Structure 1
Amino acid sequence: MIKKLVSLVFILTIIACGSHNSIDSFYNAHKNDSQVTAIRVPQFMLSLLGNISPEMKSLIGNTKDLRYMQFPSPTPERTKYLNAQMNSIAGNSFIEVFRKNDDLKRNIISIREKRNAVKEILIYNNNNIRGSFLYFNGNFDPVKVREMAKNTEFSELPKILGKEFNMQSPEEINE
């Protein structure tokens, strides 16, 4: 009886920790913060975003969930906190495809694979003034995803989202 109870508590703890370190929990925890722009793209708009390029059309066509969030990161303490949260999320069964660290500044592209497909793509940027993440969930060709990451094609999406949703321009974000 005691062994079953200990096992149950252990399993519940692991489940709780796993759900704490997810895009859903980060998105829900910060979407109501001051000066945050949070976008969850509805299915009907995904086809509009697919018009960026043939590669992007291929990627968007397989997307089930697309989220973008832009948030302030005005102090080193806040930047460290946000970087730690994203490191925790990305370290939770994601594979880093690209990382660039410059002091507290971060540019990270991570993927989660299942068998021969990429299921999730997470792109995180923080420049000590503002941070952002771009998240895709779907069924993607890993070769195409790695090629797009190598050619920095993912950087076009925040610009398109900015125009569609009248957000601050990505050039201002990356200053």
Structure 2
Amino acid sequence: MFKKLSILILILLVAGCGSYNSIDAFYNAHKDDSQVTAIRVPQFMLTLLSNISPEMKSLIGNTRDLRYMQFPSTTPERTQYLNNQMNSITGNSFIEVFRKNDELKRNVISIREKRNAVKEILIYNNNTVRGSFLYFNGNFDPVKVREMAKNSEFNELPGKLVQDFNMLPPEEVNE
């Protein structure tokens, strides 16, 4: 009996720790912070987003969850904290498709695959003034995802997403 209870507690502990380092946990922990823009796109709006460009149409067509968050990152400590949180989220379960580090500045594109499909795409940028992430969950063509990463098309998506919905002035999107 004690052995079964110990195993159950261990499983719950591991499952609980694993969910802490997730997009859900990060999003929920920071969505109410000061100067944060947080967007979670409902299913019915995904159709509207697919009209932004042919690339977005091919990407959005299979999306179940789309989130964007922009947050202040004005001190080296805050920037390092945010970078560490994103590193924890991607950890061992994501494959980095692209990474550019410049001191504390980060530009990272990570994916999670299952069999022959990309299931999650996470684009994280931090320029030491502002940080942001763009997250997709769905079923995506790995060839198309790698092509978009190679051509730096993911770098433009957050700006297009926010500008097309007039959620922020253009000067705030690109800072």
Q: Same fold (TM over 0.5)?
A: yes
Aligned residues: 174
How far did 1:48 drift? 2.1
Q: Does the C-alpha gap of structure 1 residues 150 and 105 become closer, same or farther in structure 2, counting only changes over 3 Å?
A: same
Distance 1:56 1:73 in 2: 28
Partner of 1:19: 19
| Secondary structure, aligned partner of 1:35 | coil
Which runs of structure 1 show a deviation greater than 3 angstroms over 4 or more consecutive aligned residues? 171-175
Distance 2:139 2:145 in 1: 11
Q: Mean alpha-carbon deviation: is it higher for 43-52 or for 125-134?
A: 43-52
- Contact 2:159/2:174 (<8 A) preserved: no
Distance 2:134 2:3 in 1: 42
Distance 1:157 1:173 in 2: 11
Distance 2:20 2:92 in 1: 11
Partner of 2:124: 124
Distance 1:138 1:121 in 2: 9
Q: Does the C-alpha gap of structure 1 residues 56 and 22 become closer, same or farther in structure 2, counting only changes over 3 Å?
A: same
Unaligned runs of 5+ in 1: none
Q: Does the C-alpha gap of structure 1 residues 173 and 51 become closer, same or farther in structure 2, counting only changes over 3 Å?
A: closer
How far did 1:6 drift? 2.1
Distance 1:43 1:146 in 2: 25
How far did 1:54 drift? 2.0
How far did 1:83 drift? 0.5
Partner of 1:104: 104
Matches within 5 A, 1:1-175: 1-163=1-163, 164-169=165-170, 172=172, 174-175=174-175
Distance 2:84 2:91 in 1: 10
TM-score, normalised to structure 2's length?
0.93
Tell me the amino acid that sits aligned with residue 154 of structure 1: F
| Secondary structure, aligned partner of 2:120 | strand
Distance 2:79 2:137 in 1: 25
TM-score, normalised to structure 1's length?
0.93
**Per-residue deviation, residues 132-169 of structure 1 (Å, max 9, x unmatched):** 00000000000000001111112232122222142143
- Contact 1:105/1:128 (<8 A) preserved: yes
- Contact 1:109/1:124 (<8 A) preserved: yes
- Contact 1:130/1:173 (<8 A) preserved: no
Distance 1:44 1:119 in 2: 20
Unaligned runs of 5+ in 2: none
How far did 1:173 drift? 5.2
Q: Mean alpha-carbon deviation: is it higher for 47-56 or for 149-158?
A: 47-56
Distance 1:92 1:15 in 2: 15
Cα RMSD for the two superposed structures: 1.4
**Per-residue deviation, residues 16-35 of structure 1 (Å, max 9, x unmatched):** 11110000000000000000
| Secondary structure, aligned partner of 1:16 | helix
